[in-house]
Amino acid sequence: MEERPPPRAKPVLQKPPGYRDPAAPAPAPPRPPVRKQPLPPSFRGINAKHGRHRSRRPCFCWFCCWLFILLVVLFFAIAIAGGLSYLWFQPKLPSFHFESIQNPKFNVTAKPDGSFLDATTVVRIQIANPNRKISVTFSPTEASVTVPGDGDSGDSSLGSGTFPAFDLGKKNSTVIRLEARVQGAAVDEVQGKRLSSQFRSKSLRVMVELQTRLRILHGGKKSGTVPVKVLCGGDGGLTLKQLEGGASPKCTINLFKWINLP
């Protein structure tokens, strides 16, 4: 029996380019490309930081140089102006002299419950302005009168008083009168006896402290106020006998709480 050759397979038809099967589902649209997020400054490269700093550093250095030069020029300008003003005006502080002191009333009364001091003290202080081109104005002046203590007792206050504000012209002087009062001030027995004995013998020592503020006047212009403390009589005070005999010692001036001028 004769064998037949196997049947030949049908050739597969090639789909033309761009062919689309109508039964196939529609393809999904393509996704947009993913954008890279910018890194924070802390994760950026070191070279990027250094490049940014190099661009600003020259400007900052130039600014510092010009600022330093400006400050130096300003300092020298102020110093020169101050020196010329000092040479022109030659300012001097007013002088204070302890002129006189009086005690219209001075009593120490011993009572069963202690000793008490009643006193009235009148002080006169001479103030002179030695300047030829500037005037001086004084704020209200406060004065306190004290009897320095010794080894057995402390200081004794004779009260305080005030003097109103006033002006002192060029090359001029004036005398201010201050009245201090103390009434019923308690003192110990030893201190009371010492005060009474020294007052009767004129050996009682007193010192006066003035506190005020002054400013300079020139051509209608005023300077700032300067606090001034004046101590008349020194640390140990002056006796009533010395003052009644015509003694007129110069007082010490204290500026800014740490500069003492005779």
Judged against a pLDDT cut of 90, whether residue 128 lies above it is answered with yes
For 107, phi then psi, to 5°, come to: -135, 135
Q: How far apart are CA 80 and CA 61, in angstroms?
A: 29
DSSP 249-262: PBPEEEETTTEEE-
Mean pLDDT of 204-216: 90
Q: What's residue 111's pLDDT?
A: 85
The mean per-residue pLDDT over the stretch 199-203 comes to 90
Tokens of 199: 């007052």
Q: What is the pLDDT, as a whole number, of residue 56?
A: 59
Mean pLDDT of 24-53: 57
Cα-Cα-Cα-Cα dihedral of 44, 46, 47, 52, to 10°?
70
Judged against a pLDDT cut of 80, whether residue 207 lies above it is answered with yes
- Count of CB atoms situated within 10 Å of the CB of 131: 21
Q: Any idea where the domains of the chain sit in the sequence? A: 48-89, 95-261
Residue 223 to residue 85: CA distance in whole angstroms: 13
108 and 195 Cβ atoms separated by less than 8 Å:
yes
Q: In the predicted model, is pLDDT for residue 154 greater than 70?
A: yes
Greatest mean pLDDT range, 59-73, 116-130, 215-229, 237-251: 116-130
- pLDDT band, very low/low/confident/very high, at 73 (cuts 50, 70, 90): confident
Confidence grade of residue 151 (pLDDT, cut at 50, 70, 90): low
Scan for tokens 């010794």, then name that residue. 150
Q: Please tell me which residue, 256 or 41, carries the higher pLDDT value.
A: 256
Decide: pTM greater than 0.95: no
Confidence at 165, pLDDT banded by 50, 70, 90: very high
89's tokens = 């005006």
Question: Which carries the bigger pLDDT value, residue 210 or residue 7?
Answer: 210
For residues 113-135, give the mean pLDDT. Answer: 90
CB 161 within 8 A of CB 180: yes
- What token pair was written down for 109? 């009364």
